[in-house]
């Protein structure tokens, strides 16, 4: 994905901007009642979505002002400020790599003379609505372009077909395809689907969210094809759940009555699509096309219902790039030399601007494709050695003696988990839409899943599996400490790894953004979120390092080392993006809770030795 190049965009300083504006106003003899330099400077600062960063758009905004001056449209330019701000924000999203489209591979000054030209272009690409506005609508359009959702209203040209309630107010209805759309569009709603429960709903029928563009009200609807569900919930004889924010149940009466029939029709469409999105939806749709020479059965019906714009499964790209997909999929399960792997990666790159990139890469991981390994697994693996020694644990009250061990540098990622679990005999969730990014930590796996994963990874790596796992839902487990394979850390080993190491074991300094600082968005919800400057916090040199007892793993300030409720926006994040601790381990605080082999206990005795080789081991997730 192209990133905006400020040199190509002729980035100019604020002093240069001010001077050019003053010269233009003087040359054109513009009086102060029409425009002043300060007014234009404030306009630029307000409209530029990257005003404080290196990729700002001062040159383009200044150019549109000069064009407005020359055409006598200064007043219109000022009056259209909010519209222009929306256009440029959508354009910035594309140039920041937040969409899989390659439409934004140019600085705006090389393509557009006015904001109007930019707006028309963005509307043609489906990244803004010329009919409706607002942050929620823009988010829905952006998520749709990435394959995370689909706006169900239908379109006539660039206009959405309106759906009106009984009061005449207009609604947009969205098919939520992934948890990313559920979180992004349901934020601050109080719905459990906005904070991680999305996939409890997906298998049966998918999920629809409605948004009233006139007053901002949202509703969430879950349909079902299961007669038992309908009998149990008895919600208007069709829907399993129908909720207002904060889970208040509503009936299709009053203003909502006119929405019932359109929603029934939409629900059938969503049910059809959801039924084709289990497992490996891109690969399965490809097989349907390649085996029949065209899409057949429900795939053909889906293509018609979504007007050729179904992003998951991505039917149009599959039909247009069949040969390239065939070549790429033929490499599944192979190991390639560097030259062939680069060629395969080029094939992938030629497709990922049309096929939702994260899902495509996750699927390649689940198929054990070499490109999946290179791009979706390898960047997020690594080991850190912890020497055998006696360490202070339990708030310094206990000396815990442990043998030397290695621990993964990062939390286990979705890409690695899918790659290891590609074998059909491995009983874990393998629907790729249940994941968001190959570099995000895997979630919603139980203790037994982790043990089976460790054994499978050991076998793949030519090591000896550590666990003997019995049969049944809650089988007995025996840990064979003589084996050399992968395993969960004990609670004591985990605590040692989370704390700062003695000086002789310090792995720093590790370089990163923490050397120069960064700006983060922080706040418990979208309304109160604000930019917070983090000053530089470099890791000390080995000579200056002193072991400390930090509140969090690597810092007393969680903003440097942990994704948590005020910084995470209620979702997981790619591993290794924050500051590591002194061992060189990332995300030991925040992001997700982590499984250990034995349970956490307040007893000092629990810290003094490895757990007994019991057949049944208590266990509990641990988060610092």
The tens digit of pLDDT for each residue in 591-604 reads: 999 999 987 666 66
Task: Give mean pLDDT, residues 224-252.
Answer: 71
* Distance of alpha carbon 10 from the chain centroid: 32
Output helix, strand, coil percentages for the chain, rounded to the nearest 5: 40, 15, 45
Rounded to an integer, what distance in angstroms lies between the CA atom of residue 419 and that of residue 323?
Answer: 24
DSSP H helices in 96-201? 115-124, 135-145, 179-186
Task: Give mean pLDDT, residues 294-321.
Answer: 91
Q: What pLDDT score does 100 carry?
A: 46
Q: Are 515 and 538 in contact (CB under 8 A)?
A: yes
Has residue 580 got a pLDDT over 90?
yes
- Nearest-Å Rg of the Cα atoms of the chain is 27
Which is more confident, 128 or 534? 534
Q: What pLDDT score does 605 carry?
A: 64
Q: For residue 333, with 0-12 CB atoms within 10 Å meaning exposed, 13-18 middle and 19 or more buried, which class applies?
A: exposed
Q: What pLDDT score does 613 carry?
A: 43
Rounded to an integer, what distance in angstroms lies between the CA atom of residue 9 and that of residue 95?
Answer: 12
pLDDT above 70: percentage of residues in the chain: 86
Residue 532 host element (H or E): strand 530-534
Query: C-alpha distances in angstroms, 366 versus 201, 283, 347?
Result: 23, 11, 18
Cis peptide before 607 (omega within 30 of 0): no
Beta strands 149-151 and 155-156, pairing class: unpaired
Q: What pLDDT score does 388 carry?
A: 94
Has residue 558 got a pLDDT over 90?
yes
Residue 402 host element (H or E): strand 398-402
Task: Give mean pLDDT, residues 555-564.
Answer: 96
Q: What pLDDT score does 75 carry?
A: 86
Mean pLDDT (the chain, rounded): 85
Q: What pLDDT score does 16 carry?
A: 85
Task: Give mean pLDDT, residues 174-189.
Answer: 87
Please name the residue that has the structure tokens 């060629």: 343
* Res. 429 pLDDT band, cuts 50 70 90: low
**Residue 229 tokens, joined:** 């569900």
For 296, phi then psi, to 5°, come to: -130, 165
Q: For residue 472, with 0-12 CB atoms within 10 Å meaning exposed, 13-18 middle and 19 or more buried, which class applies?
A: exposed
Q: Which of 307-316, 359-368, 501-510 has the lowest mean pLDDT?
A: 307-316
Q: Are 256 and 250 in contact (CB under 8 A)?
A: yes
* Res. 623 pLDDT band, cuts 50 70 90: very low
Q: If phi over 0 gives left and psi between -120 and 50 gives alpha, with beta otherwise, what is residue 379? A: alpha
Task: Give mean pLDDT, residues 201-224.
Answer: 85
Rounded to an integer, what distance in angstroms lies between the CA atom of residue 490 and that of residue 486?
Answer: 12
Give the residues across from 241 on adjacent strands: 222
Please name the residue that has the structure tokens 């489906």: 126
Tens of pLDDT along 91-115?
887 666 544 455 555 677 777 888 8
DSSP H helices in 125-172? 135-145
Q: What pLDDT score does 534 carry?
A: 94
Select the highest-mean-pLDDT range: 190-199, 372-381, 445-454.
372-381
* Res. 407 pLDDT band, cuts 50 70 90: very high
* Res. 54 pLDDT band, cuts 50 70 90: low
Has residue 621 got a pLDDT over 50?
no
Q: Which of 89-98, 342-351, 560-569 has the lowest mean pLDDT?
A: 89-98
Cis peptide before 509 (omega within 30 of 0): yes
Task: Give mean pLDDT, residues 314-340.
Answer: 94
Query: C-alpha distances in angstroms, 106 versus 7, 91, 109, 209, 317?
Result: 11, 11, 8, 34, 23
* Res. 192 pLDDT band, cuts 50 70 90: confident
* Res. 618 pLDDT band, cuts 50 70 90: very low
Which is more confident, 181 or 427? 181
Has residue 69 got a pLDDT over 70?
yes
Please name the residue that has the structure tokens 């330019």: 77
Has residue 364 got a pLDDT over 90?
yes
Rounded to an integer, what distance in angstroms lies between the CA atom of residue 450 and that of residue 488?
Answer: 8
Task: Give mean pLDDT, residues 380-384.
Answer: 96
Q: What pLDDT score does 365 carry?
A: 95
Give the Cβ contact number of residue 595 at 10 Å.
Answer: 19
Which is more confident, 42 or 230? 42
DSSP-derived letter for residue 149 is E
Select the highest-mean-pLDDT range: 146-160, 300-314, 399-413, 432-446.
399-413
For 149, phi then psi, to 5°, come to: -155, 175
Q: Which of 209-218, 300-309, 336-345, 423-432 has the lowest mean pLDDT?
A: 423-432
Has residue 9 got a pLDDT over 50?
no
* Res. 194 pLDDT band, cuts 50 70 90: confident
Which is more confident, 392 or 384? 384
Rounded to an integer, what distance in angstroms lies between the CA atom of residue 15 and that of residue 97?
Answer: 29
Beta strands 467-469 and 477-479, pairing class: antiparallel
* Res. 440 pLDDT band, cuts 50 70 90: very high
Beta strands 383-386 and 389-393, pairing class: unpaired
Q: What pLDDT score does 494 carry?
A: 94
Q: What pLDDT score does 3 carry?
A: 30
Which is more confident, 44 or 353? 44
Has residue 6 got a pLDDT over 50?
no
The angle at the Cα of 379, spanning 376 to 381, to the nearest 5 degrees, equals 100
Q: Which of 23-37, 217-231, 315-329 has the lowest mean pLDDT?
A: 217-231
Give the Cβ contact number of residue 501 at 10 Å.
Answer: 23
Has residue 234 got a pLDDT over 60?
no
Residue 94 host element (H or E): helix 81-95
Q: Are 591 and 462 in contact (CB under 8 A)?
A: no
3-state SS class at 572: coil
Give the Cβ contact number of residue 227 at 10 Å.
Answer: 8
Give the residues across from 552 on adjacent strands: 555
Tens of pLDDT along 116-171?
888 877 876 767 776 677 788 888 888 887 788 899 998 877 788 889 999 999 99
Task: Give mean pLDDT, residues 44-53.
Answer: 79
């Amino acid at each position: 994905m192209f990133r905006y190049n400020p040199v190509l965009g002729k980035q100019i300083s604020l002093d240069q901007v001010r001077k050019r504006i003053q010269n233009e106003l003087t040359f054109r003899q513009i009086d102060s009642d029409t425009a002043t330099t300060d007014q234009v400077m404030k306009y630029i600062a307000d409209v530029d979505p990257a005003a404080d960063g290196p990729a700002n758009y001062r040159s383009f905004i200044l150019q549109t002002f000069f064009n407005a001056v020359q055409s006598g449209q200064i007043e219109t330019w000022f009056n259209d400020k909010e519209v222009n701000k929306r256009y440029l924000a959508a354009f910035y999203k594309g140039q920041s790599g937040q969409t899989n489209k390659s439409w934004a591979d140019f600085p705006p000054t090389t393509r557009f003379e006015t904001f109007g030209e930019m707006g028309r272009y963005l509307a043609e690409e489906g990244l803004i609505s010329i009919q409706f506005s607002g942050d929620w609508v823009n988010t829905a359009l952006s998520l749709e372009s990435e394959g995370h959702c689909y706006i169900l209203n239908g379109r006539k040209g660039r206009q959405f077909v309106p759906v009106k309630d009984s009061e005449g107010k207009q609604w947009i209805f969205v098919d939520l395809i992934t948890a990313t759309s559920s979180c992004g569009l349901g934020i601050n709603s109080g719905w459990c689907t906005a904070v991680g429960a999305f996939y409890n709903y997906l298998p049966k029928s998918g999920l629809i969210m409605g948004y009233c563009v006139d007053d901002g009200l949202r509703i969430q609807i879950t349909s079902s094809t299961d007669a038992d569900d309908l009998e149990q919930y008895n919600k208007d004889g069709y829907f399993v759940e129908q909720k207002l924010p904060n889970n208040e149940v509503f009936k299709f009466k009053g203003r909502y009555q006119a929405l019932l029939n359109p929603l029934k029709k939409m629900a059938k469409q969503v049910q059809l699509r959801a039924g084709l999105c289990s497992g490996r939806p891109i690969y399965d749709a490809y097989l349907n096309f390649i085996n029949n020479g065209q899409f057949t059965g429900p795939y053909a019906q889906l293509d018609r219902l979504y007007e050729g714009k179904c992003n998951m499964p991505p039917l149009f790209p599959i039909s247009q790039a069949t040969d390239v997909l065939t070549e790429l999929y033929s490499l599944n399960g192979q190991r390639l030399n560097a030259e062939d792997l680069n060629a395969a990666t080029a094939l992938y790159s030629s497709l990922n601007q049309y096929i939702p990139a994260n899902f495509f890469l996750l699927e390649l991981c689940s198929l054990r494709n070499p490109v999946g390994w290179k791009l979706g697994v390898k960047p997020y693996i690594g080991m850190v050695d912890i020497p055998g020694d006696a360490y202070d644990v339990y708030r310094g009250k206990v000396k815990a003696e442990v043998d030397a061990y290695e621990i993964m540098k990062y939390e286990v990622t979705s890409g690695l988990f899918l790659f290891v679990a590609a074998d059909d005999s491995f009983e874990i969730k393998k629907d790729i839409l249940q994941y968001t990014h190959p570099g995000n930590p895997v979630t919603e796996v139980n203790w037994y899943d982790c043990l089976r994963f460790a054994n499978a990874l050991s076998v793949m790596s030519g090591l000896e599996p550590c666990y003997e796992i019995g049969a049944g839902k809650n089988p007995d487990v025996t840990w064979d400490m003589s084996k050399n394979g992968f395993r969960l850390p004990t609670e004591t080993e985990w605590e040692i790894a989370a704390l700062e190491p003695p000086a002789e074991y310090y792995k720093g300094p590790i370089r990163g953004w923490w050397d120069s600082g960064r700006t983060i968005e922080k706040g418990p919800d979208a309304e109160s979120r604000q930019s917070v400057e983090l000053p530089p916090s470099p890791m000390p040199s080995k000579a200056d390092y002193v072991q400390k007892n930090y509140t969090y793993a690597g810092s007393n300030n969680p903003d440097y080392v942990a994704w948590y409720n005020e910084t995470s926006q209620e979702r997981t994040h790619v591993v290794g993006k924050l500051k590591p601790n002194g061992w060189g381990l990332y995300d030991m605080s925040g992001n997700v809770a982590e499984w250990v082999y034995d349970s956490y206990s307040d007893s000092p005795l629990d810290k003094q030795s490895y757990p007994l080789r019991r057949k049944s081991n208590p266990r509990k997730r641990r988060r610092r």
